[in-house]
Amino acid sequence: MSFKERLSNLFLLGLALLLPQVVAAQSTSTGTSSTTIAPGTPGPVAIQMNQYGLTSLTVGGRQWLGRRVNNVLVGDFFVSTWRGSNTTSNYEPRTTATLTGTTTSQTYPWGSAQCTYTTTYNTLDYAISVTNTDPAPFSKMQLVLGDVMFPGAITPKDWNDTNPPNADNYDAPAVLTGDYGTGVLALVNTDVSTPALTQFSSKYWGGYPIRVTTEQPIPAGATVTFHISLRWAPEGTNKQTVAPDVWAAYQATRIQELNWKDRRPIGSIFLATVNCNYPTNPRGWYNNPTINVFTTQGQANLKTRLMATAAQVVKELKDMNAQGCIVWDVEGEQYPQGLATFIGDPTLLPTLAPEMDPLADTFFSTIKNAGFRVGVCLRCQHLVPFSQGGYVQTEYPDDQSIFNALDQRITYAQQRWGCTLFYLDTNGGVNGVYDVSIFQQLQEKHPDVLLIPEEKYDAYFAYTAPYYELRPMDGNPGTVATPADAVAIIPGAFSVINTADGDVVGNQAALLAGVKRGDILMYRTWFYGAEYAPVKSIYQQATANGGPVAAADIFSVHPGTDTVLDVLLNDFDQIIGRPALQVVSYTQPTAGSVYMQNGYLHYVAPTTPPAGGSSTFTFNYTASDGVKTSAAPVTVSVGQ
């Protein structure tokens, strides 16, 4: 994203000169906490302020603010804006600044800003509001929160000084951690709904400037708020532990809707080879230059070959006990890599591969009638004529157009071939991965299909089973299981992992663990690839003593309401064919109550929070398939 570009050292120096160096009356605050503090937690946090922001930030008596020219501590709060059609920021000085308690209130030529600092034993929280009183909207805005310097000006473990950690909060919590050897400092954006990039900027004078940037337009007259936190924790603390409140907030707003019980493997099929330029076989079927799709005999030979493939696929699917297969290239692979390798539009089959059009129905029905699911590859772009001949894939102009195209293609493949498995190729363009709302709408309209998108971010797991590859590619070591960050937000998240050309044997333990919790392995099914036997072995081990797999659930409800909790939606059974899962027992939470009615759990929320002010409550349930059981926790957040 464009706003992830770091501020240059020249700008940092200019901004330092721009900020007033007036010494004013100081405000002091030392944090305490009523909650239990883990052993080894750094603290207490203490701050001093003037009207511009922090003049001191100590933890356990040690100074954490960075220093710049003339050894001046850098803790000022400042806001810069991009207004109207400006492509560069307006670094305009404040017109006024006042300090009330621990709140700095500032005015600018474009409006006003406030930042309130609150401390606990091991945290410093920033509550920020910015109001635009300028006639022009802000197209972009950046908050400057000062510099932090780690002990001895060290570089934290695994950091790069020119490219320190940064994260947006679009799909997952923005929690940035720095391990400095005796503890961990976390920079946390606690907001769920205000999109922003939170970052440590490049190391400067031994410290790391803290920046928060949003490209969400801010209209004239609007006020936007931000909530940022610095948190100190013991050595070895991970992101989820240092910010459980933020992870819980994301969990409550990203409820899994995907309900796919079958986690058996999926086969992949490639019928063609890209850009072969065979005169009589332009689509590259079977990478065979002798196939002639333009003669009656050649078409008959292609049919014979295709039906033999279908028979082989059925044989392998049965032997693997797979759920089905996906054909990547039913339209062939006539055009060059990078232009239109996979067409991904079955509605164009009669036009782009007329020799395959009359054969595809029998091919798919042979597999489907044997009891297996079938599917195709879909592209998220559309074909337009290429200036040098052929076609090229081109982006749609907006999200609605992407949804309409994919919806049309899914409907066509469902109605013609009964497809329920869809690999979504290249679901990202020049502006990054497509918005998850497209796939939420698709899943809600087609709840009986499994969408497997190539590109993804964590929110995708609520509606799809994102695609990964086991083989190393482009510096990526390969993926063996659903990423932990995704599971932390969506406990029932699962992936489809393509094992082709990957080290299945060397990663067998990790792959087995992933399969046991719900991941789906993909393998080549039109011939016996090297991955076939080890994938089969993994599933045999996973199901040898198999049964239900209950996944944790998170729900958000209103006070005093009686809400149905579909806790079984993200659960599955490793053994296909057993009775449907049922809840056979449950516990009671510390507040509110749980009861069963018509096979569903109900939660009756308290009308007021109990003593202590907690609004999150947990209970457990047990699911059974009549043979075995599995238990999981349910977390209910009672909001407004």
CATH of the domain at 433: 3.20.20
d(CA 488, CA 254): 11
d(CA 276, CA 278): 5
Packed helices 399-417 and 436-445: angle between N→C axes, nearest 10 degrees:
30
438: Cβ contacts below 8 Å, ≥ 6 apart: 399, 402, 403, 406
Residue 260 belongs to some domain of the structure: no
310 and 208 belong to one structural domain: no
First and final CA of the chain: distance in angstroms? 34
Residue 459 belongs to some domain of the structure: yes
514 and 605 belong to one structural domain: no
According to the model, what pLDDT value does residue 505 have? Answer: 96
Residue 259 belongs to some domain of the structure: no
According to the model, what pLDDT value does residue 11 have? Answer: 35
Q: Residue count of the chain, please give it.
A: 640
Residue 408 belongs to some domain of the structure: yes
Within a 10 A sphere around the Cβ of 344, how many other Cβ atoms?
28
Residue 261 belongs to some domain of the structure: no
232 and 279 belong to one structural domain: no
CB 322 within 8 A of CB 525: yes
CATH number of domain containing 607: 2.60.40.10
Residue 302 belongs to some domain of the structure: yes
pTM of the model: 0.83
Query: The dihedral of CA 159, 164, 168, 174: what is its sign?
Result: positive
According to the model, what pLDDT value does residue 17 have? Answer: 32
564 and 506 belong to one structural domain: no
According to the model, what pLDDT value does residue 1 have? Answer: 36
d(CA 637, CA 553): 11
Consecutive H or E run containing 207 = none
Number of domains in the chain: 3
Digit-coded pLDDT (tens) for 286-300: 999 999 999 999 999
Listed residue (522, 548, 572, 567) closest to 630, CA to CA: 548
Listing DSSP states for 135-186 in one string gives SSPEEEEEEEEEEE--GGGPPPTT--TTS--EEE-SSS-EEEEEE-SS-EEE
Domain boundary among 544, 566, 594: 544
Domain boundary among 477, 512, 544: 544
According to the model, what pLDDT value does residue 178 have? Answer: 97
According to the model, what pLDDT value does residue 192 have? Answer: 87
Residue 29 belongs to some domain of the structure: yes
According to the model, what pLDDT value does residue 29 have? Answer: 66
423 and 523 belong to one structural domain: yes
d(CA 231, CA 2): 28
Listed residue (422, 158, 388) closest to 266, CA to CA: 422
Residue 17 belongs to some domain of the structure: yes
185 and 220 belong to one structural domain: yes
According to the model, what pLDDT value does residue 640 have? Answer: 59
241 and 372 belong to one structural domain: no
Domain boundary among 506, 526, 544: 544
Residue ranges in the chain whose pLDDT is less than 70 = 1-35, 85-90, 338, 431, 610-614, 640
506 and 555 belong to one structural domain: no
Domain that holds residue 402: 266-544
183 and 315 belong to one structural domain: no
* 103 beta partners: 100, 116
